[in-house]
Amino acid sequence: MKTAAQISAATAWCRMAPSPIVFVPTMGALHAGHASLIRQARRTAGPKGSVVLSIFVNPTQFGPKEDLSRYPRPFAADRKLCREEGVDLLFHPSPEAMYARDHSVSIHEKSLSSGLCGGSRPGHFDGVCTVVAMLFQIVAPDIAIFGEKDWQQLAVIRRMVRDLRMPVTIKGCRTVREKDGLALSSRNRFLSRENRSMAPRIYQTLKARSMEVAGGEVSVARLRRNLIMDLAAIPGASLDYAEIMHESTLSPLKKLDAKNPARALVAVRFGDVRLIDNMALPTPR
């Protein structure tokens, strides 16, 4: 496995790499969920293609009240996982390498990023879009793999690629969960023992809404009300948002039907730990 910290070295390697180049952008603190993305990338690239993974804790997507310095950076463990999972190039630039001291250009998506996490984290998706576009410029991938756990991010990236005519295919990868249903996240390590025992109820609440739809419920208002009630009842939790939306446009829905694929999206805080999750809802009968 090749490692590169400098943009010039990464770009030179990617220009010579066998195609297809399949790219997995991350912020590090890799876990089993990231490993599943790498395996998907390896399968997609095939025996003759190349898998590139980036680790970059992007400062421009952190808000003023979010502790950038607290974000975990276990680089040695991350590098070991990448090597074991078959990554060909690990790109790990510094903020100084990525951003000029007087950088003044960013990408702003003004529709899909306005609510949900974008509503409670102003400027977050500007930072996400900008850094992903920069990484695409450096790596020039044929395909990029993103996890479905951050569904809004996936939708925003897909829209950016479509609207800016970027020559890369975006593929989503299913959320990986603990045995009790909690979505894997680098933030889980910050949960107290009590909050960790309660956190799986987020998944149980989403599952309950899916079962309601399977049983014939199509009213978004009733589904959302039950979603909010169940999440609010989790001890130690405070609700950031709970919505049921069109899964591609992230627009509100009034009634579920076969023409508008729906997804429940939630964000819940346990103290200063913010967890997100989502689930596709079945097509009504």
Positions marked active-site: 34
* CA separation for the pair 244, 265 (Å, rounded): 6
Name the maximum alpha-carbon separation found in the chain.
56
Residues 6+ apart with CB under 8 A from 34: 24, 26, 81, 147
Instruction: Report the relative pairing of strands 237-246 and 262-270 from DSSP bridges.
Output: antiparallel
Q: What are phi and psi of 213, to 5 degrees?
A: -65, -40
* CA separation for the pair 150, 6 (Å, rounded): 28
281 DSSP 8-state letter = P
Residues 6+ apart with CB under 8 A from 91: 3, 4, 5, 10, 52, 53, 54, 55, 56, 138, 139
